[in-house]
Amino acid sequence: MSAETWQDVPLAPPDSIFQLTASYKADTFEKKVNLGVGAYRDDDNKPWVLPVVQKASELILKDTSLDHEYLPITGLASYTTAAAKLILGASSPAIQEQRTVSVQTISGTGANHLGALFLSRFYKWNGAPQVYLSKPTWANHHAIFKNVGIEPVDYPYYDPKTIGLDFDGFIGSLQNAPERSVFLLHACAHNPTGVDPTEEQWKGVADVMLAKKHYAFFDCAYQGFASGDLDKDAWAVRYFVDRGVALLVCQSFAKNAGLYGERVGALHVVPPSKEAAERVKSQLSVLQRSEISNPPTYGARVVSLILNDGILFEEWKADIRTMAGRIIAMRKELFRLLTEELHTPGNWEHIINQIGMFSFTGINAGQSKQLVEEAHVYLTGNGRISMAGLNTKNIRYFAESLDKVVRG
Amino acid sequence: MLATALSRRAAVGVNANALRSLSTWANVVAGPPDPILGVTEAFKADQDPRKINLGVGAYRDGNGKPYVLPSVKKAEEILTASKPDKEYLPITGLAEFTKRAALLAYGADSAPLKDGAISITQSISGTGALRIGGEFLARHYPHSKAIYLPVPSWGNHTPIFADSGLEVRGYRYFDKKTVGLDFEGLKADLRAAPEQSIVLLHACAHNPTGVDPTQAQWAEISDIVKERKLFPFFDMAYQGFASGDTARDAFALRHFVAEGHQVALAQSFAKNMGLYGERVGAFSLVTADPAEKARVDSQLKIVIRPMYSNPPVHGALIANTILGDKALYTQWEGEVKGMADRIISMREKLYNALTHDLKTPGEWGHIKSQIGMFSFTGLTPDHTKVLAQKAHVYMTSNGRISMAGLNDSNIDYFAESVNAAVKGNL
């Protein structure tokens, strides 16, 4: 019991995104702009609790029949069932044939972790456990898979020359990977690039995945948030289910319902049969039990209420369109300022072609640093900006600052 | 249905290889149902009106209903009216909450607390705290990978620690003969454990037995732990709930810290605030100084981030509201005492029914001397089976009952059923 027990514990590097936010908060510059963390902000740069969520919270508070009892290990059934329908579509063969296993998770991270953990224990690996991750991808993907003993391997995705998709590189990687490899696919609104495959390109990906018997690990954190349309954003996942690609889907309600801190997510595994689904469910439950026992009630109740009530569901869709709409408007305005007013050197089409919360501007690490240090514009070193951080009050300042660093 | 699905898939160009993916999960065997949570499933399926659920440890009021603490209800109203945003919490959770949680557990006089040397993170209730602790110890505790659990312990302790990468072993705890503490066995086993092993200690209201060491016995245990340089990991899921007094229930933890032990602590607010499903808890470590605390903090974040990024905010806000408001805090303390008192009165009643009214064979003093939510009745797995099947009385197969499931309306039926089971008359 001497005081030396923890003396060798090394200082771990701080999470880079959170550090960026901390620097922003400490900055006293009046015109500072935060384009770091991916949380939606309204036009006044304030967090936005969706009106439908506020309504649902009040209904929950008033409901005297509700208590704080434990949920089942796999979560609130009315929530997971509705969440599965939302991403897969009510008419999905996966749902009609009752072979979808749905587990409520601690938001998207929890779903990714549980999915990765399940694969690490039960997937029939072809060689050492590996997962193919897009280059680039959400930083936490690497940590999540490494944490359960699955080694990340990059697949080509982003082409810095076109500031678009390196489709040939992507397909090449699928073709060259050993059979039965696991590929992580962003269902829509790729993080961090905002570059999504077209429907034709998705079809090409599915063709190769079937030919090579690969497994699709879908991460869907922006359904509805990308285009403003829930069904449109779910197209790739649903197509892959229809084609019979073996897959699971990680789902998050952090962004599309603005429920970030309530940690509302789900993991949906789609095996080929109902019987397999029962066995998979039992094993997911065992894994969940030794980590969290059962998931948190509150956020799941809010989403369950919204998804299962016709009126609230329509209100939610409208709130989603508000958010997606404002972001699309900012993309259009930024594009206009750069191309029509400032005539900033370079091609800026990607600003309006990319989709979702993030945009890979195309500037390099040096230029990003300059933006932070000289203009007090906070963004990550890869040139990624969170569009949600832009608003009618700061967009001109940002465009001018960006113009300056591009011109050198 | 499968035929239509297959033909539909054929229509959209399904490769025959896709059907071979039928083999993807072929090797997944069915996992066992959870022994504790499975009891509630069986209870729910039972249609008999006399049925009693004494399985899972969730408090029930005198009418057998879940109890939302009035202080919790009040806190929720205050919270909702304040229209909080839903932004992400930091990885280690709501700072105000964890600060107050540490104060509640360690006490205002705690030296490491005053020195700023306690590293604490919000967790997914008690389970999450134990898991974070297990992962952290497996990675950073330099001296051993072995953790000693009392026999018996909460069933979920074993998979939590095994999955964290620790080697789970046992130390004698429960004496079947006396239906009490096997103190000599406990001391011998701790003395025999390799130096610097990790030892899990239930801070109060031992789950599943309800048998706690006395304060004098805790002092002896502390000495042995010191002697063998064992690492004490406290699991405190029932602070306030055991005796009705939060300071009293924290005695063992505080004694160890005062004696200079560097402990780990898993704290749950599931029972004492009735916040079960909101998953409110905290994991903490006593470190040497603020600089070491900062390093330990950074490594706790490394454990948490790839598992779930950051914890849920709602429950933490409720707990924080209560802990941070003098009037609510006092109200809460009273409600916790109320729950503890009702349980103590049920113990009295059950003891009297079995010993004096029914004269059930056996010694039932342990019902009264045990403490907290649970009681190890001494009933055998066969007894528990027949009680479920014939009397519709549900408990875990080790004979553990949740005292909170008993009330004035069902205690007589329960006592009679136990009496019949013991006599072999069911």
Asked if residue B92 lies in contact with residue B304, where contact means CB atoms within 8 angstroms, the answer is: yes
Q: Does B175 touch chain A (CB under 8 A)?
A: no
Q: Which of A48, A196, A202, A219 is catalytic?
A: A219
Partner-chain contact A6 B274, CB within 8 Å: no
Q: How far apart are CA A42 and CA A391, in angstroms?
A: 8
Taking every pair of Cα atoms in chain B, the longest distance, rounded to a whole number of angstroms, is 76
DSSP string, B332-373: HHHHHHHHHHHHHHHHHHHHHIIIIIS--SS--HHHHHS-SS
Give the model's pLDDT for residue A4.
Answer: 78
Percent of chain B with pLDDT over 70: 95
Q: Is B114 a catalytic residue?
A: no
Q: What is the mean pLDDT of residues A119-139?
A: 96
Asked if residue B418 lies in contact with residue B361, where contact means CB atoms within 8 angstroms, the answer is: no
Q: Does position B51 have pLDDT exceeding 80, yes or no? A: yes
Asked if residue A178 lies in contact with residue A127, where contact means CB atoms within 8 angstroms, the answer is: yes
Q: What value does the CA radius of gyration of chain B take, rounded to a whole number of Å?
A: 24
Q: Which of B182, B189, B235, B249 is catalytic?
A: B235
Q: Which two tokens stand for residue B193?
A: 């454990």
Partner-chain contact B314 A299, CB within 8 Å: yes
Q: Does position B167 have pLDDT exceeding 90, yes or no? A: yes
Partner-chain contact A244 B311, CB within 8 Å: no
Which of B 55-74 lie inside 8 A of A, CB atoms? 56, 58, 66-68, 72
Q: How far apart are CA B398 and CA B152, in angstroms?
A: 9
Chain A, chain B: beta-carbon pairs less than 8 Å apart:
273
Q: Which two tokens stand for residue B372?
A: 């907290």
Partner-chain contact A211 B274, CB within 8 Å: no
Q: Which of B271, B293, B332, B349 is catalytic?
A: B271
Calculate the CA B170 to chain-centre distance: 18
Give the model's pLDDT for residue B37.
Answer: 73
Partner-chain contact A14 B14, CB within 8 Å: no
Q: Is B51 a catalytic residue?
A: no
Confidence of residue B14 (pLDDT cuts 50, 70, 90): very low
Q: Does B272 touch chain A (CB under 8 A)?
A: no
Give the model's pLDDT for residue A185.
Answer: 98
Percent of chain A with pLDDT over 70: 99
Among the partner residues A13, A49, A271, nearest to B25 by beta-carbon distance: A271
Asked if residue B373 lies in contact with residue B238, where contact means CB atoms within 8 angstroms, the answer is: yes
Residues of B within 8 A of A72 (CB-CB) are 37
Residue A329: count other Cβ atoms within 10 Å of its Cβ.
16
Among the partner residues B18, B27, B86, nearest to A245 by beta-carbon distance: B18
Q: How far apart are CA A77 and CA A93, in angstroms?
A: 20
pLDDT in tens, A217-228: 999 999 998 889
Beta-bridge partner residues of B424: none
Distance from CA of B85 to the nearest CA of A (A): 6
Partner-chain contact A244 B279, CB within 8 Å: no
Distance from CA of B275 to the nearest CA of A (A): 5
pLDDT in tens, B85-143: 999 999 999 999 999 999 999 999 999 999 999 999 999 999 999 999 999 999 999 99
Give the model's pLDDT for residue A285.
Answer: 96
pLDDT in tens, A294-341: 999 999 999 999 999 999 999 999 999 999 999 999 999 999 999 999
Amino acid making up residue A187: A
Q: Is B218 a catalytic residue?
A: no
Q: Which of A48, A138, A202, A316 is catalytic?
A: A138
Please give, one letter per residue, the 3-state secondary structure of B237-293.
Answer: CCCCCCCCCHHHHCHHHHHHHHCCCCCEEEEECCCCCCCHHHCEEEEEEECCCHHHH
Distance from CA of B189 to the nearest CA of A (A): 18
Which of B 223-242 lie inside 8 A of A, CB atoms? 225-226, 229, 231
Confidence of residue B238 (pLDDT cuts 50, 70, 90): very high
Mean model confidence pLDDT for chain B:
93
Q: Does position B217 have pLDDT exceeding 70, yes or no? A: yes
pLDDT in tens, B76-86: 999 999 999 99
E strand or H helix at A170, and its extent?
A: helix A167-176
**Roughly how many angstroms between the first and final C-alpha of chain A, as a whole number?**
58
DSSP string, A131-148: EEEEES--HHHHHHHHHT
Give the model's pLDDT for residue A195.
Answer: 93
| Lookup result for tokens 């059979």 | A179
Q: Does B159 touch chain A (CB under 8 A)?
A: yes
Partner-chain contact B76 A61, CB within 8 Å: yes
Quick one: residue A251, left, alpha or beta (phi over 0 = left, psi -120 to 50 = alpha)? Answer: beta
Q: Does B123 touch chain A (CB under 8 A)?
A: no
Q: Which of B51, B154, B218, B349 is catalytic?
A: B154
Higher local confidence (pLDDT), A162 or A317: A317
Q: Does position A248 have pLDDT exceeding 90, yes or no? A: yes
E strand or H helix at B103, and its extent?
A: helix B95-106
Residue B29: count other Cβ atoms within 10 Å of its Cβ.
9
Confidence of residue B426 (pLDDT cuts 50, 70, 90): confident
Partner-chain contact B312 A261, CB within 8 Å: yes
Partner-chain contact A263 B308, CB within 8 Å: yes
Give the model's pLDDT for residue A17.
Answer: 76
pLDDT in tens, A365-408: 999 999 999 999 999 989 999 999 999 999 999 999 999 999 98
